């Protein structure tokens, strides 16, 4: 490692991989057989005409050709990740794909899905699948590659992206921070620097001014709690510094960043819809512990910024269990499938009296064996919460296509559309058509 790399990431020898174990031949997950939501699933879907149906992506995970703190980190950690991956068993259906977890290329985002150049083709696919909304992030490191120097060409690029969506009747939802930072920002200390949020607000303000006539929905931060935990507690994301003090500092800075950026955006247009996408897990904990962990993990950040939120975005994938019990249904990443959790969380969020969007919900499923049922059952649970008075306005599947799953790399396959990473060919998976049917049914 160079001195810069050492000061940037520390000199750690070990990287903790996010990826977990597998259960081969686990029972096929079927929502129809699960009594808890069979009722909703059988009945007709009942969604308002204005409901947003779509999918989410983030710049670093799909665009390709980015240069930010993550790309630096990927280069210096790829070898170690391969070594770590060798310590565990992998099923053939993962090892047969390119790239697989035992290859260094798996951990380098590189050209990713090539979405930067193929966005029109990709939005044609989204439209053909019935989507009327799409969430994506603007890559700060492209817009402001050097401190204070805004790149007009890149601003124009995102203008074209937004227009391409609008031309296809797809509402753009823009995320302004999805975990990546310009290298200059990271070198200044990232979120630990005193003035970090001033730089971030300046970027957000510029984006608000540029796209004020084209964009209504803004998600300032994606999963601040999870990111701060992974970056400063678990050491799973750059800058990989494990310290409670740094974690708290970054967390407080992100709260400030949201507040300032929200104020800056509202100054541009008071009718902008400002939100957040927060990662939430249903906490299957004993009654005494549950309220505490639920509040700290799922609600604290939202409570701290609620006065500057027009809507709440929920990213729901799985529950957390107090004790390890082997779940019956899991994804390729070993994440438990538990649709009821979405309903529990939505019902609890009702107390904030804000519109809610499911901003991410998805499954890593390379064989596409469980995805259709996963989507149906979670939508059924969302419907149940809506029937009980929760104001949900949209559902975004994660993700439109397979993409670069951060420290796990390319092997987890979340996409409605499969990517062949050698040719960048897109292939629509059968589950994407099942999702399309739901969308169509909800409108009929």
State the residues that interact with ligand BGC by CB under 6 A.
Answer: 58, 61, 222-223, 226, 279, 315, 360, 398, 405
Extract the tokens encoding 90: 């992998």
Q: How far is the CB of 400 from ligand BGC (least distance, A)?
A: 12
Q: How far apart are CA 180 and CA 289, in angstroms?
A: 33
60 or 294: CB nearest ligand BGC = 60
Q: How far is the CB of 88 from ligand BGC (least distance, A)?
A: 18
Rounded to the nearest 10°, the torsion over CA 58, 61, 64, 67 is 90
Tell whether omega for the bond before 99 is within 30 degrees of 0, i.e. cis: yes
Q: How far is the CB of 401 from ligand BGC (least distance, A)?
A: 12
61 or 66: CB nearest ligand BGC = 61
DSSP secondary structure letter of residue 361: -
User: What Å distances lie between residue 181 and 67, 220, 224, 274, 364, CA to CA?
Assistant: 9, 14, 14, 21, 26
Strands 133-137 and 52-56: parallel
- In the three-class reduction of DSSP (H, G, I as helix; E, B as strand; rest coil), residue 219 is classed as strand
- Cβ atoms of 69 and 239 within 8 Å: the answer is yes
Q: How far is the CB of 199 from ligand BGC (least distance, A)?
A: 22
Tokens 């992030």 label which residue?
137
- In the three-class reduction of DSSP (H, G, I as helix; E, B as strand; rest coil), residue 193 is classed as coil
Q: In Å, how far from its chain's centre is CA 148?
A: 28
45 or 231: CB nearest ligand BGC = 231
408 or 442: CB nearest ligand BGC = 408
Q: How far is the CB of 139 from ligand BGC (least distance, A)?
A: 13
Please list, in sequence order, all residues whose beta carbon lies within 8 angstroms of the beta carbon of residue 35, skipping any fewer than 6 positions away. Answer: none
Beta bridge partners of 429: none
69 or 223: CB nearest ligand BGC = 223
Tokens 């050698």 label which residue?
422
Please list, in sequence order, all residues whose beta carbon lies within 8 angstroms of the beta carbon of residue 103, skipping any fewer than 6 positions away. Answer: 82
144 or 360: CB nearest ligand BGC = 360
Q: How far apart are CA 364 and CA 377, in angstroms?
A: 16
Q: Find the DSSP H helices in 68-182.
A: 69-86, 92-95, 115-128, 140-143, 152-167
225 or 240: CB nearest ligand BGC = 225
Q: How far is the CB of 180 from ligand BGC (least distance, A)?
A: 10
Q: How far is the CB of 414 from ligand BGC (least distance, A)?
A: 6
Q: How far is the CB of 398 from ligand BGC (least distance, A)?
A: 5
Please list, in sequence order, all residues whose beta carbon lies within 8 angstroms of the beta carbon of residue 228, skipping any fewer than 6 positions away. Answer: 191, 247, 250, 251, 254
Extract the tokens encoding 321: 């269990």
Q: How far is the CB of 86 from ligand BGC (least distance, A)?
A: 22
Angle at the Cα of 120 (from 98 to 421), degrees rounded to 5?
A: 5
279 or 442: CB nearest ligand BGC = 279
68 or 279: CB nearest ligand BGC = 279
Extract the tokens encoding 204: 């957000």
Q: How far is the CB of 104 from ligand BGC (least distance, A)?
A: 20
Q: How far is the CB of 364 from ligand BGC (least distance, A)?
A: 8
């Amino acid at each position: 490692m160079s001195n810069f790399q050492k000061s940037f990431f520390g000199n750690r020898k070990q990287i903790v991989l996010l990826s977990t174990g597998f259960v081969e031949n686990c029972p096929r997950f079927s929502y129809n057989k699960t009594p808890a939501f069979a009722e909703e699933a059988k009945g007709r879907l009942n969604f308002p005409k204005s409901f947003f149906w779509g999918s989410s992506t983030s710049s670093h995970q799909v665009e390709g050709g980015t240069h930010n703190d993550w790309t630096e980190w990927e280069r210096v950690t790829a070898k170690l990740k391969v070594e770590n991956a060798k310590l565990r068993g992998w099923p053939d259906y993962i090892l047969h794909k390119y790239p697989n977890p035992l290859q260094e290329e798996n951990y380098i985002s590189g050209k990713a899905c090539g979405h930067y150049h193929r966005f029109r083709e990709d939005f044609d696919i989204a439209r053909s699948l019935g989507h009327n909304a799409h969430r994506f992030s603007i890559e700060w490191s492209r817009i402001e590659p050097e401190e204070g120097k805004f790149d007009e060409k890149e601003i124009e690029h995102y203008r074209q992206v937004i227009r391409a969506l609008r031309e296809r009747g797809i509402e753009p939802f823009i995320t302004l921070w999805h975990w990546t930072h310009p290298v200059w920002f990271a070198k200044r200390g990232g979120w630990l620097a005193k003035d970090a949020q001033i730089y971030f607000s300046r970027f957000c303000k510029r984006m608000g001014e540029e796209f004020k006539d084209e964009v209504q929905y803004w998600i300032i931060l994606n999963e601040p709690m999870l990111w701060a935990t992974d970056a400063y507690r678990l050491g799973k994301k750059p800058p990989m510094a494990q310290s409670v003090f740094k974690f708290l500092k970054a967390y407080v800075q992100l709260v400030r960043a949201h507040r300032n950026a929200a104020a800056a955006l509202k100054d541009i247009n008071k009718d902008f819809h400002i939100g957040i996408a927060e990662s939430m897990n249903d906490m299957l904990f004993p009654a005494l512990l549950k309220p505490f962990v639920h509040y700290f993990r799922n609600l604290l950040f939202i409570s701290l910024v609620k006065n500057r939120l027009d809507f709440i975005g929920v990213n729901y994938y799985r529950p957390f269990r107090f004790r390890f019990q082997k779940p019956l249904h899991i994804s390729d990443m070993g994440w438990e499938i538990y649709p009821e959790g979405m309903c529990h969380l939505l019902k609890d969020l009702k107390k904030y009296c804000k519109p809610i969007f499911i901003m991410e919900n998805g499954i890593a499923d390379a064989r596409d064996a469980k995805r259709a049922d996963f989507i149906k059952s979670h939508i059924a649970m969302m419907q149940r919460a809506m029937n009980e008075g929760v104001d949900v306005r949209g559902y975004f599947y994660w993700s439109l296509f397979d993409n670069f799953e951060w420290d796990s790399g390319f092997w987890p396959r979340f996409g409605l559309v499969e990517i062949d990473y050698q040719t960048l060919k897109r292939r629509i998976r059968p589950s994407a058509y099942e999702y399309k049917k739901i969308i169509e049914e909800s409108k009929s």
